[in-house]
Chain A
Amino acid sequence: MKHSDSEIIQEILRGGEHGYAILLQRYRARVFSLTLRIIGRREEAEEAAQDAFVRAFRALTSFEQRSQFSTWLYRITYNVALDYRSRLRKSQIPFQDDDNADIEDTRIPQDLRVEHEELREIVKDRIAELKPDHAVILTLFYLHDQSYEEISHILSLPLGTVKNRLYRARRILRSTVLQHYAIQETF
């Protein structure tokens, strides 16, 4: 039987250290995916993810369960990853600034045939090239199943800003994916 996060946390607080391993197994990939989106470098992203877990585990007694454990953990992760990124800023992380990306309301070409597998590969490549703010919000919403309200809590942003940013991120992604197909057609 799968125990809830809350049950595992209670077990840890009663001294059951096995709970740490369960939480790690449950969240390691999600936390690492988030730090990787923000930092962009595997080694540093892994270090930041470890740091986020250690900080969260140390602070478990102060977790008041007013939000989901996952939301609380992602908030810690986000803040830790931002710290790492700001330390690395001097050495310039290779991210494109997509703020000026062409995101006009492009119509889909009538004859466009999209294979799902192919589209998934393109999305995977394009999302990695997005600005961290955009990649993070897409990751939290679509991969980590966080609601607008939860994302607002994680990123410390107003709800309206979250909605706008998510929509903008999606438009940029859509636009770059369509650009890919347009370029392919010219060959």
Chain B
Amino acid sequence: MKKHPSNSVLFSLLEGSLPKDAEHRLRQHIEHCAVCMQSLDFEKQLTRSIEELPLAHPSPQFDGHVLSELQHSKAIPHRPLQAWMRPVITGLLITTTLLVIILAGGSGEEQSQSVLTPVFEYITDVMSPVTDQFHEQITLLTPSVDAADNHTIRIFLIASLALLVIGSLDRLLLPIIRHRERTG
């Protein structure tokens, strides 16, 4: 090695990122070169001085401010939902959905005796323009569709609506459960 190595090479030597053979050659050079030896010593001292810099300390009220801010915003993190709760909630929601579908999907006579009859009558009324239109389109495509099919279409639409409502409830219920967990 004829030239003195640059500072970047010395820096690489200090951080150990030089290839083994290059490091070996460089160390051999430094051993016999007073200039490079001094440079390397200075770099080492500089590194030590940076590492030993004192950390800045905030005021004694620092922790208190952080903790009171946390309390103030009621930001104590909630515990994650227990592993067993998710399937239970999902199961409940599926059961409820099936129940709604069964209640809605009975024959005309059964429906008239159902607790939910007023609800379904209302939904049927509200949705009748849609179902009629839907039925009309289906009839055009498949002229064999009869009244029974019309009833099936209504059940299908009501069941879809029920799934939509219950799916939304899932979104609403989970935060409520979590909030209760959090507040004990």
Contacts and interface: CB of A to CB of B under 8 A. Distances in A.
Given A46-B62, A108-B42, A20 B51 contact: no
A29 B73 contact: no
A107 B6 CA distance: 9
A131 interface: no
Interface residues of A, number: 47
The A interface, classified by DSSP as helix, strand, loop or mixed, is helix
B76 interface: yes
B19 interface: no
Interface stretch (A47-55, A69-77, A82-90): A47-55
Contacts of B34: 110
A57 B80 contact: no
A49 B79 CA distance: 26
Interface of B: 4, 6-8, 11, 34-35, 38-39, 42-43, 45-59, 62-63, 65-67, 69-70, 73, 75-80
B48 to A, nearest CB: 7
A105 B10 CA distance: 11
Contact of B66 (A12, A50, A143, A173): A50
The B interface, classified by DSSP as helix, strand, loop or mixed, is helix
Nearest to B75: A58
Given A13-B79, A33-B55, A123 B67 contact: no
23 contacts: A12-B77, A20-B66, A20-B67, A20-B70, A24-B62, A24-B67, A29-B55, A29-B56, A33-B56, A45-B56, A46-B59, A50-B62, A54-B73, A57-B66, A60-B77, A123-B46, A124-B54, A127-B50, A142-B51, A143-B51, A143-B53, A143-B55, A170-B46
Contact of B56 (A32, A50, A116): A32
A45 B59 CA distance: 11
Nearest to B55: A29
Nearest to A47: B65
Interface string A114-151: 10100110111001000000000010001100000000
A24 B69 CA distance: 13
A28 to B, nearest CB: 6
A36 B50 contact: no
Interface in A143-167: 143, 167
Contacts of B69: 50, 54
B49 A123 contact: yes
